[in-house]
Structure 1
Amino acid sequence: MAERIGTFDGVHRRNLAKVLGLVHLEGPRSRAALTAATGLNRSTIAALAAELAEAGLVEERAPDPTNRVGRPSPVVAAHPGVTAIAVNPEVDAVTISAVGLDGRIPVRERNEVDHLVSPEEVAAIVASTVARWRDGPLRSARIVGVGLAVPGLVRAADGLVRMAPHLEWNDAPLRELVEAATGLPTAVGNDASLGARAEHLFGAGRGIDDLVYLNGGASGIGGGLVVGGVAVVGAGGYAGEFGQNRPGIAADEDRRAEGGVLEDEVARSRLLAVVGLAAADEPTLRAALEASDSPEVAAELARQRRILATALANAVNVLNPSRVILGGFLATIAESDADALTAAVLAQAMPAAAEGVELRAAALGEDRLAIGAAELAFGPLLADPESALDA
């Protein structure tokens, strides 16, 4: 192992985490760029990079061609073999992805189901998929953990799924089940909160300190919040359940579920029904809606857009974000007539609260939940790369 600088005290650990975090979040960086970004000296950066490379967490590459005078600086990049398994169990499918520390997704599988899967079934599907991938596309990968993005209330303290109503799960020890089945460290989070995290770090919310994220999936609508650059999770980790709010519906003819909540009215199932699909992934549903010239399809999109606009205006009034990001089928609704949605939100929000607010579709598309779940799995390694030095 390369000679380590000093001792592995708190400062050294933080410096290792700083370098690994930068190349993970920002992509490959020259040693010179890391020196400038961290404020550390060149020899310290060289030693830290060497340690991380020997641990298999980064790789050092030949410097990019340059016309600058002097010797060019080697490039440090997150090692593509360091991998997290990201899982999103839903009412119609269990989607499993392999996500590299460098952000690539080399393999993904959508396992469609014709019944509500149990937590035990999810653990078995994950274990069998990982075992198969280890003999195939992940043969040379170093799998560091599993992250699960669950459509329900997940207790932050221990990852217990307190309630996933559409899956009919209550107090499900999903983390323990998956760890036992795979032998891998496992973490569990709410799907929308993880989508918000992914978009904040890598997508449409990158560099934005105040944002609201709403995710639309097969199980309904969830959300995530970033206020002052900090994710807001709530006392128990349950913040952001926008889908359970009572919608303001101005026209009685727009109501479909008497006394229903937002996700009863703005629903993926209603969009599938109007285009005649029993099930579909996000790209397929979006393509079907865009290709249709049916008045019924246009009317349903407009109806859901009107109700969604009221919900977004309420969020703008309460939180005063600079950006609102929509993922999943909500992005499809928004993009069907972005100008109409924006105008409807601004018409219902307080002018001062809405000043400068932008509505954006999630930039990561269908990758957002996988990337968010992977961040959960990568968390311990990114916080303490030293833990891998002697692994």
Structure 2
Amino acid sequence: MKLRLAIFSILFVGFWIAALSIEPIALRFSYLQVENYASIVRRAIAAKDYRRAEQVLRRRIDKVFYDFDAHYLLAETYAAQGLYKEAAETIRTVLSKVPAARANPVRSIGYDEPKTYYLLARYLWLAGQYLDAGEISRAALDAGHPLVQGEMTTYLSGKVENPSAAEAIAKLAMKLKAPEAFAQAFRVLKSGGEEASAYRLLAEWMDRVRKMPVGADMVLRAARSLDPQNPSLVLAQFIWLNKYGGDAGTSESKALLESLRSSPGIQEIGTGAFRVTEGQRITPTTLVLGRNGRATAKLATSVFRPKRLTFVASGTWAIGLYPIVLVRCNGKEVQRLYVDNPDGRVYDLELWPQGAPKQIELEFEFTNDAFEPYTRADRNVQIKHLFLY
């Protein structure tokens, strides 16, 4: 009898210990379930308990590395606190993880390409990272998120704060064919000391939007008369001549390029300086990035310490988008470019406001390769005519 009573007592105590343990174990487990962690996070955000929201999301991402819904919520958590740079960086992390998630048989949850570009564009605008915002906004428009058109239009109607914002607005205005916004951006660029960018973009507006290639040529020639050795203007004229100039234009464009190469204070980067990952090609004039990967060059800069990099890039469309290319200098990302002009566009980047160091490592990474088998559309990018000045 005493033995039975002892066994019963042990079982009774064990039962209650187990019962009391179920609730915290279940609660802790529920944090990591798709249907539960999101609602917990949203309640925490609503209560402004951002620390708890981030803890739950970090735990979820540690467990399911490619849960992109958790990344979107983490960015939302940062944005709710006004931490827009951190929110944008979180969405950049999504884009950096996508190629590996697609290439390997791993569990991934919730990736939405239009949503990703829309959120990144939105957070970049709010963070004041205007040059990147202008590039990614055009990708978001092509990706087709239902909210992006209305939101991008609000940026066009706002006050243009500085030349960086003006350049972003000008490119976005071209995409949306918004003449008033473009005119305002042009004025800010011109008055802000970025005359070359202003006239280069005006020529592109005349050509692509107004369908007035002769007017574009006149703009470029007038701008070059004021600044004849500006590499970005020379390259813009080079593109126009090759597109519209025929045989005479080809001869003139070659002469322009040779003149640029011999100009003092300008350093050409030949394609032979680059090393590329598998699947890329190098020709004597062009870096051809045909799949996700990188082209990297280690360079010694000239004694004049250049501040800017200018080059021509063109991209081909597939499955709704053009190529996106990351530009890095000495391992640091400096800009993302949306290469949405098949004929070529001049990109002119101020990478070193105080002058470049003696040794630099320059890298281009193509990040969103795609191929559509039915139409055989292949998303590729070509980069050529690189100059430091």
Q: Same fold (TM over 0.5)?
A: no
Larger relative contact order (Cα-Cα within 8 Å, sequence gap ≥ 6): 1
Max radius of gyration: which structure?
2
Structure whose residues are more often helix by fraction = 2
TM-score, normalised to structure 1, is: 0.28
How does the TM-score come out when normalised to structure 2? 0.28
